[in-house]
A = this chain, B = another copy of it.
Amino acid sequence: MKNFKTLQWIGDADGFLELTDQRKLPAEFTTMKCTTVEQLFDAIETLAVRGAPAIGVAAGFGICLAAQETDKLKISDALKHIEKRADFLAKSRPTAVNLFWALEKMKESARDFAEKNPNASLDAFKNHLLACAQEIYAHDVEMCAQIGINGEKFIPDNGGILTHCNAGALATAGNGTALSPIFEAQKKGKKFKVYADETRPLLQGARLTAWELQQAGIDVTLLCDNMAGALMKAGKVNAVIVGADRIAANGDAANKIGTYSLSVLAKAHGIPFYIAAPSSTFDLNIKTGAEIPIEHRHADEVACFAGLITAPKGIKVFNPAFDVTDAQNITAIITERGVIQPPNEQNIRKTICR
Enumerate chain A interface residues (CB-CB to B < 8 A): 25-27, 164, 195, 197-201, 203, 206-207, 210-211, 214, 219-231, 233, 257-258, 260-261, 264-265, 267-268, 302-303, 305-306, 308-320, 323-324
CA distance A308 to B306 in the complex (A): 9
CA distance A316 to B219 in the complex (A): 9
Q: Which residue of the partner chain B has the closest CB to A211? A: B312
CA distance A228 to B25 in the complex (A): 28
Given contacts A207-B310, A265-B261, A308-B306, contact A315 B214 (CB under 8 A): yes
Let me know if A225 and B200 touch, CB within 8 A: yes
CA distance A313 to B215 in the complex (A): 11
Let me know if B257 and A224 touch, CB within 8 A: yes
CA distance A195 to B315 in the complex (A): 11
Of the candidates B226, B231, B313, the one whose C-beta lies within 8 Å of that of A200 is B226
CA distance A312 to B207 in the complex (A): 7
Q: Beyond the given A223-B302, A225-B225, could you list 7 further A-B residue pairs with CB under 8 A, ordered by the A residue number?
A: A206-B315, A210-B312, A221-B317, A227-B320, A230-B257, A233-B260, A306-B306
Residues in chain B near residue A219, CB distance under 8 A? 316
Of the candidates B27, B222, B227, the one whose C-beta lies within 8 Å of that of A257 is B227
Residues in chain B near residue A210, CB distance under 8 A? 311-312, 315
Of the candidates B206, B222, B226, B310, the one whose C-beta lies within 8 Å of that of A258 is B226
Let me know if A221 and B261 touch, CB within 8 A: no
CA distance A194 to B324 in the complex (A): 23
Let me know if B230 and A320 touch, CB within 8 A: yes
CA distance A315 to B203 in the complex (A): 14
